[in-house]
Structure formats: structure tokens, C-alpha cells
Amino acid sequence: MRMPGSGGEPLLTAEHNGDVSFWWRARGGFPPRRPSLPGPLTTDVCIVGGGFTGLWTAYYLKQAAPTLRVVVLEAAFAGFGASGRNGGWLTSALPGSRERYARGPGGRDAVLDLQRQLRGTVDEVARVCAAESIDADLVKGGELAVATSPAQLSRIRAELLGDREWGLDEKDVQYLGADELATRVRVAGGLGALYSPDCARIQPAKLVTGLAEAVERSGVRIYEATPVTRILPGGAGSVGAGGARACTVFGDVSAGYVLRATEGFTARLPGQRRALLPMNSSMIVTEPLSAAAWQEIGWDGRETIGDSAHVYMYAQRTEDGRIAIGGRGIPYRFASAVDHLGMTDPSTVAALTGVLQRLFPAAADAKIAHAWCGVLGVPRDWCATVTLDQATGLGSAGGYTGHGVAASNLAGHTLADLVTGEPTPRTALPWVGHRARTWEPEPLRWTGVHGLYALYRAADHTEDQGSEQTSPLARIGDRISGIPH
Ligand SMILES: Cc1cc2nc3c(=O)[nH]c(=O)nc-3n(C[C@H](O)[C@H](O)[C@H](O)COP(=O)(O)OP(=O)(O)OC[C@H]3O[C@@H](n4cnc5c(N)ncnc54)[C@H](O)[C@@H]3O)c2cc1C
């Protein structure tokens, strides 16, 4: 087996690096660019950001109120951000901590409802894909959280107990022993796993492209290459001079509502520098594997697969028979900077290749076809928010901490409900109106995040030596960061 950087071999690299993501290259490149904002405009709802959150919000707004005038302003192109770069886990996993959401007015019941609605979201996205003829390579094969060390095994067992306390039964999540896991997929060193059926594998760029087209068909105008430089509050629901405003170099959009859906890029907007931390996540994808390799690995059910390390990996088997695998890499760039077109550090490519080779030895000789990265939005308390202030007309949704592919559908639907003003089961969810404090100023922010990941990497290393206990280093990290469990 080739080991990155060992035995005098050159550091492993990818054939392509950046270009936003492999998912776009697999579609034949970036989509044709839509026009920029032609000039100042007045509308009912202006959405800032053309990722899943912005597009789902627009989609459900037009479903509920077809005559509403809705525009989307996108800095680059629809799907340029995390929505076109992610691991393709349409997962019902909760973005944040149950205990923390339960501190809200809805208490435990509201959290149970959020869990239930997130599970339903996987089918809702599949339903819209069918209704709108979106081919997103969607296969609902479930999710496997694999343990590859005794400490990881103890953790998934504890997690299962926690799930049971929060009302999840055998049909929602079940424990698989090593043999049962191996009948699904052969993960080297796999000691057991948690299996949840409520997850689907998707091709992110296909989903976001199809969704943007569906949104346009419903009458929404998407303006691309139109960065919003400032968002200003207005008076309640008033369109025109008193409306909220999204300012751009092409002119301002004045609207009854301006909804921010900028996730990992939020820090670039004035007044938002410390609202959401742009956490980096990186991915590699292999060339298509041989039939013999797939015979050895299995994975016929197309489950999404992650391990249970502190610096965890996530993976999918793509429609054309590759393994796409992701992990943290460089966790955070100083002063909330973001990557350049998804370019990834060679050391991250080598580290992810090492993970691939360790967990899937049958893929050890596969070339790495592409590497890329992107940013996801992390609030200070690691819990997502959907919010609308009727007094100013300003709203937002996001902060999914890396679990936003399905959650953005539910959050966008909720934000649309808040705008149309109809109380629905979604508007009572505990993330509605949830507030987190802001992140620390630099250099504390950079030092804290890098220190945290140094602790997590050291904890993973210690646990790989065979201890059954979670390393105390990880617990120190959790305490410093406030990461909830
Ligand atoms: C590498 C990676 C892997 C991931 N894997 C998974 C996964 O497998 N499953 C999962 O659930 N989640 C995953 N995530 C997270 C998930 O992709 C995100 O939570 C989700 O896509 C967020 O969607 P969004 O629309 O809120 O944000 P984004 O998709 O980031 O969209 C924000 C958009 O706003 C635009 N924008 C920003 N600022 C402005 C401005 N000032 N003016 C105009 N436009 C602006 C950006 O260009 C961008 O297109 C992953 C993220 C990354 C980076």
C-alpha cells in the first residue's frame, strides 16, 4: 500500500485541485452564467445567496404565494458555495445539540418535533426532485456511523443510548455488529456501526442546479455575479423607499423582506464578522474503481459512511463508481478568510488519501481525480437559526455546522412560512428565533479553532492505540469550544 509522504515517495496529489468542486467538473463545468442585477430594483422578497438555503426559501415562497415577486442575488453562481461542494449526505442528522435547543420555550417536545421533521425532509427533497424532474443521483440507502477503534465503539454505543432517550427507536437507528456491517460494506478495522435509514446519497451540483432551474420556472429571478455589499433594515413589510435594502455595485434592491442565506461567507458582510465562523472542509474523489475493488468493498446499498473519530471523515460511493471522501483539513483561515475556488492544501490531500487507503485498502492504488474544499457556517453555540424580524423586514437561516444539505430544505421552508405569516408546524420549531452569541475577536478565534483541532487530532491518535475510553484531550477540546454533545 502506498502511504503518503513515506518511504521517500512524493506527497500524493490530485489530478485536479479546486475548480470549485469535482461535482461541477462531473457535470461538464460550471453552469451558464445568469445575468447580473441590471440596476436598482423594487420587489417583495430579496434573498441574498443562491445556495440550498436561498433557493429552497424561494421555492417554497412561490409555492405558497405564486404572485409574490422574489429575486435571488448571488455573488458568484447558484451552487458556488457549500451547496455545490459537499459530501452529498442528505442527512436527517440534527444540526446542533438537542439539549441546547430544548432550553428554548418549546422544551423537549419541540426538539422531538425537529428530529421528526428532519427525518421527513429526506423524503421531501426526494419528492420535489421527482415533481420537478431533478436527477440528483439520489439513493436513500441510509447512513452508517462506523467505529474503527474501541473508543469509537464506546462512543457510538453511548450515542445510541442517547438516541433512545430522545425517542429514536429501532426503526430510526440501530446498532450493527462488525459482521453485520461487513455484509453492507467492508471498512477495514470496522468494529461496529450505527445505521440510520433516514439519509440519501446525492450529487450536490446536480441537486442545486435542478433546484435553481425549478425556482426560475416558478417565476423567481436569480441574478448572478452580484455580491451584496450591505444589508439595511426597513419598516415592517414595506416595499419601496421604506423597505429593507440589499446594496450592490449595480444598485440597491428595495424589498419588503431581505433574507440572508450566506452561511460560511456571512463574515464578509458589514456587521456580521463574528456571527458565523467559516469552518473549512475538504474532499477528494478517486477515479472510478474496478469491478474487482467494488467486489471487495461491497457498499451495494450506497449508504453514506462516516467514522466516529473526533476529526471525522465522511464518504459516499458516487453514481459512477468512485469514492468521494472528506474531512476537516485546515480547519479555519485567519480573520474568517475563505478559500480561492476550492483550492486545497497538498498536505490535506495527502492526509485524506491516507484515510481512504486505511479504510478501503481495495482502493489504495486508485488515482485521486480531484480535490477541493469549501466553507460551512458555524455559530458560537453550534446550533442553527431561522429568524425573521417583522419590524425591519430582515431574516436569515443557517449555521448548520456541516449538516445543511437536508436541514436547509426545512430551514428554507420555515423562513418562507415566516414571510407569508402563516403559523405552521415548522414555525414552532426550536431553531426559530434561536440566538447564539458572537465568536471571539482575532487572534483568539484562530488560536481557539486551531488549538481545538490539535487536541482532537491528538485525541484520535491516542484512541487509535486501543484505549476504550474517549481521550481526555477531546473532552478538554469540547469544553473549550462549547461543542455540545
Ligand atoms: C466540503 C463540504 C462538505 C459538506 N458535506 C456535507 C454533507 O455531506 N451533508 C450535509 O448535510 N452538509 C454538508 N456540508 C454543509 C452543507 O453543504 C451546507 O450546510 C449547505 O450547503 C449550506 O447551504 P447554504 O445555501 O446555506 O450555503 P452555501 O451553499 O454556502 O450558499 C451561500 C451562497 O451565498 C453566496 N453569497 C455569500 N455572500 C454573498 C453576498 N454578500 N452576496 C451575494 N451572495 C453571497 C455564496 O456565493 C453562496 O453561493 C458540507 C460542506 C462542505 C464545505
Please, what are the averages of pLDDT over each run of 10 residues along the chain (485 residues)?
40 85 96 97 98 98 98 98 98 95 96 98 98 98 97 96 97 98 98 98 98 98 98 74 89 97 98 96 98 98 96 97 94 94 95 97 97 97 96 97 97 98 95 96 94 93 90 87 67
Query: Among 54, 61, 56, which residue's Cα sits nearest to residue 76?
Result: 54
pLDDT of 241: 54
Do 140 and 197 touch, CB atoms closer than 8 A? yes
Do 437 and 379 touch, CB atoms closer than 8 A? no
Do 445 and 333 touch, CB atoms closer than 8 A? no
Distance between CA atoms of residues 62 and 220, nearest Å = 8
Evaluate: CB of 91 within 6 angstroms of ligand 1: yes
Do 419 and 244 touch, CB atoms closer than 8 A? no
Which cell numbers hold the place of 90? 442528505
pTM (predicted TM-score): 0.96
Residue 343 CA to ligand 1 centre (angstroms)? 16
Evaluate: CB of 118 within 6 angstroms of ligand 1: no
Atom of ligand 1 nearest to the CA of 372: 1
Evaluate: CB of 53 within 6 angstroms of ligand 1: yes
Do 247 and 234 touch, CB atoms closer than 8 A? no
Residue recorded with cell 420556472: 217
pLDDT of 242: 64
- Within 10 Å of residue 24's Cβ, how many Cβ atoms? 25
- Within 10 Å of residue 322's Cβ, how many Cβ atoms? 21
Residue 183 CA to ligand 1 centre (angstroms)? 34
Residues with Cβ within 8 Å of residue 220, at least 6 apart in sequence: 58, 61, 62, 70, 71, 72
Residue 181 CA to ligand 1 centre (angstroms)? 31
Evaluate: CB of 55 within 6 angstroms of ligand 1: no
Residues with Cβ within 8 Å of residue 205, at least 6 apart in sequence: 21, 23, 24, 26, 27, 79, 84
Evaluate: CB of 342 within 6 angstroms of ligand 1: no
Phi and psi, residue 305, nearest 5°: -130, 130
Distance between CA atoms of residues 81 and 74, nearest Å = 10
Evaluate: CB of 436 within 6 angstroms of ligand 1: no
pLDDT of 482: 73
Query: Among 449, 459, 188, 143, which residue's Cα sits nearest to residue 310?
Result: 459
Query: Among 2, 14, 20, which residue's Cα sits nearest to residue 367?
Result: 14
pLDDT of 328: 87
pLDDT of 485: 53
Residue 401 CA to ligand 1 centre (angstroms)? 10
pLDDT of 311: 92
Distance between CA atoms of residues 428 and 414, nearest Å = 9
Which cell numbers hold the place of 477? 477540546
